[in-house]
Amino acid sequence: MPLTYIELQCIVLLRKGGSPVVIIDKDLVAASSTPLVLAILKEGESYGYAIIKRVGELSSGELEWTDGMLYPLLHRLERNGLVKAVWGQSETGRRRKYYRLTEAGVEQLNRQRRQWQVVDQAMRGILRMAMAPAWRPA
């Protein structure tokens, strides 16, 4: 019997070292991708592959983005005026597109940061309540 969508979204894979890696639901990835990229670009100008590597570093390897996910996001951010792209050269002389945050991007990052702080606070509260010894589901 084939797995349902929800089952596929909840599968836990094992890394080489045996530690579990949770597949993050695509809705959560979509919701978090813009603030992640904007925050990375707030650190300074960057290019696609470096952004993908930085996401991996920031998530301790838990988030593994692909080109097919990142570049449509970068193009959308550019169309919306949140990032600016310029062609440059890598250390090896190859052409590479570099992305930098615009003022509108900084403002959007600040708005999204505040939104995520509210969500984080709510999640921490509900998890604390769920873990309390006296708590019982209705």
* φ, ψ (nearest 5 deg) of residue 35: -65, -30
Q: What distance in Å separates the CA atoms of residue 78 and residue 39, rounded to the nearest whole number?
A: 15
Give the model confidence (pLDDT) of 36-87 as tens digits: 999 999 999 999 999 999 999 998 888 889 999 999 999 999 999 999 999 9
Give the model confidence (pLDDT) of 1-50 as tens digits: 444 444 333 433 334 455 556 778 888 888 999 999 999 999 999 999 99
Q: What distance in Å separates the CA atoms of residue 26 and residue 55, rounded to the nearest whole number?
A: 16
As its CATH architecture, domain 10-131 has Orthogonal Bundle (1.10)
Q: Global pTM?
A: 0.78
pLDDT at res. 131: 81
